[in-house]
Amino acid sequence: MQAETSPNGSGDPGFGRCFSDHMAIASYDLAHGWSTTEIVGFAAMSFSPATMVFHYGQAVFEGLKAFRQPDGSISMFRPDDHARRFNRSAQRLAMPAQAPGVFKAACCELVSIDQEWVPAELGHSLYLRPMMIASEVGLGARPANEYRFVVIASPVGSYYARGVEPITVWASPDYVRAAPGGTGSAKCAGNYAGSMAAKIQASAQGCDETLWLDAGEHRWVEELGGMNIVFVIDGPDGTSLVAPPIQDTILDGITRKSLLELGRRLGYQVIERPVSIDEACRAGSFQEVFACGTAAIVAPIGAIRTPSRESVIGDGQAGPVTMRLRDALLALQDGRADDPFGWRVKVTEAEPSVRRCPVPAPSCAGTSVAERDPTSV
């Protein structure tokens, strides 16, 4: 079977279906702290069924991208912000933080060794997935004393198979993603597990994603399952971006933050205030609505559905402000535009703090990951 992608291959690789040749890995135990990060061949990992992550769910992750630049070099987008958030997520789940620089060095070194996996096509990138899990073996509900940090990489194109077509979102009447004091602002696996039932409900309603409302009143729009939400008012008095303010029930998205800053620079007014589901659905409140996150960058929202109504946003198509912001961010990420913010971080050769293991890497070129190693899926 021919895979959709390979190093230097063309065509749309889709999202997260194939992985590069290597991975970065480090271990932690209470007595020794974090080990040196190593680059090893991408391979299945084996764990005892009594490993604590399977039972108590201490698992956090990140998602960031490396982009091929016009001069052939490679830059990651805001890796330090992702590193800080990774440590914050870890802290919320009582997992150990990493020393400054470890996260970025691991990502840099992985991208550097697998640089031929960074696509050059417009809108494509190498998606990095750092994660940390409790690796201690034993039952007993307490914070584990051993952890594993792993970074894998996947060449990606469009997050949605149909590209930047508008998506429809479903405001679930039954489920809640996050409550005050909970884990909503941590990028932890459990948040996703808890949202899958709503995702099934959304699909049954013909919708692409869940639109989460607040836990207390079930009235205030918070975010999507894996993307933040921004509303656009485009009127005679100018353009405003309206975004629900970040609180501990909302993931502090780096794409959201970047788009709001870019919007300000483009002369838009940026307003962070609560938006109710009634306001979001009322005809004329907003001319455009979009979701944003590292994976999809910007996904226009064409309609919002609740059990009682379906509200089409504008004409249901991707709006000009949405597309302008999307293009501006992508141009900054892939080096076609200036970077006045210092968000691009060049991937340099050889991070001295990371050890390259001389184990030959299996190649995923021309095979799907499942084919390469059936135990890895």
Ligand X SMILES: *Cc1c(COP(=O)(O)O)cnc(C)c1O
Residue 169-208 contact track with ligand X, rule CB under 6 A, x = bound: ------------------x---------------------
Of 181, 268, 254, 170, nearest to 212 by C-alpha is 170
Are the CB atoms for 109 and 351 separated by under 8 Å?
yes
Closest distance of CB 256 from ligand X, Å: 6
Question: Distance between CA atoms of 191 and 61, rounded to whole angstroms?
Answer: 11
Q: Residue 6 or 255: which CB sits closer to ligand X?
A: 255
Q: Residue 113 or 171: which CB sits closer to ligand X?
A: 171
Q: Residue 211 or 364: which CB sits closer to ligand X?
A: 211
Q: Residue 39 or 107: which CB sits closer to ligand X?
A: 107
Closest distance of CB 329 from ligand X, Å: 10
Task: Count the Cβ atoms, other than its own, within 10 Å of residue 85.
Answer: 22
> Which residues in the 222-251 window bind ligand X by CB under 6 A?
223, 226-228, 251
Question: Distance between CA atoms of 38 and 356, rounded to whole angstroms?
Answer: 6
Q: Residue 51 or 183: which CB sits closer to ligand X?
A: 183
Hey, is 118 helix, strand or coil? coil
Residue 282-321 contact track with ligand X, rule CB under 6 A, x = bound: -----------xx---------------------------
Q: Residue 135 or 294: which CB sits closer to ligand X?
A: 294
Q: Residue 63 or 157: which CB sits closer to ligand X?
A: 63
Residue 111-150 contact track with ligand X, rule CB under 6 A, x = bound: ----------------------------------------
Identify the helix (H) or strand (E) that includes residue 245.
none
Count of residues that interact with ligand X, criterion CB under 6 A: 13
Question: Distance between CA atoms of 374 and 161, rounded to whole angstroms?
Answer: 25
Question: Distance between CA atoms of 343 and 333, rounded to whole angstroms?
Answer: 8
Going through 209-315 in order, the beta strands assigned E by DSSP cover 209-213, 221-224, 228-235, 238-243, 269-272, 288-293, 297-305, 310-312
Question: Distance between CA atoms of 64 and 42, rounded to whole angstroms?
Answer: 18
Closest distance of CB 331 from ligand X, Å: 17
Closest distance of CB 189 from ligand X, Å: 10
Are the CB atoms for 361 and 42 separated by under 8 Å?
yes
Closest distance of CB 361 from ligand X, Å: 28
Are the CB atoms for 157 and 118 separated by under 8 Å?
no
Of 297, 266, 366, nearest to 64 by C-alpha is 297
Q: Residue 7 or 274: which CB sits closer to ligand X?
A: 274
Q: Residue 112 or 228: which CB sits closer to ligand X?
A: 228
Alpha carbon 251 to its chain centroid, in Å, reads: 10
Closest distance of CB 13 from ligand X, Å: 19
**Pair type for strands 125-134 and 64-68:** antiparallel
Q: Residue 112 or 294: which CB sits closer to ligand X?
A: 294
Closest distance of CB 27 from ligand X, Å: 25
**Stretch of 21-29, 110-118, 252-260, 310-318 contacting ligand X, by CB under 6 A:** 252-260
Radius of gyration of the chain (CA): 21
> Which residues in the 44-103 window bind ligand X by CB under 6 A?
63
Closest distance of CB 142 from ligand X, Å: 26
Closest distance of CB 60 from ligand X, Å: 10
Closest distance of CB 362 from ligand X, Å: 29
Q: Which one of 53, 254, 260, 275 is in contact with ligand X (CB under 6 A)?
A: 254
Q: Which one of 135, 255, 306, 322 is in contact with ligand X (CB under 6 A)?
A: 255
The CB-based long-range contact list for 47-51 (8 Å cut-off, 24+ gap) reads 47/135, 48/137, 50/137, 50/138, 50/139, 51/133, 51/134, 51/135, 51/136, 51/137
Q: What is the binding site for ligand X (CB under 6 A)?
A: 63, 187, 223, 226-228, 251, 253-256, 293-294
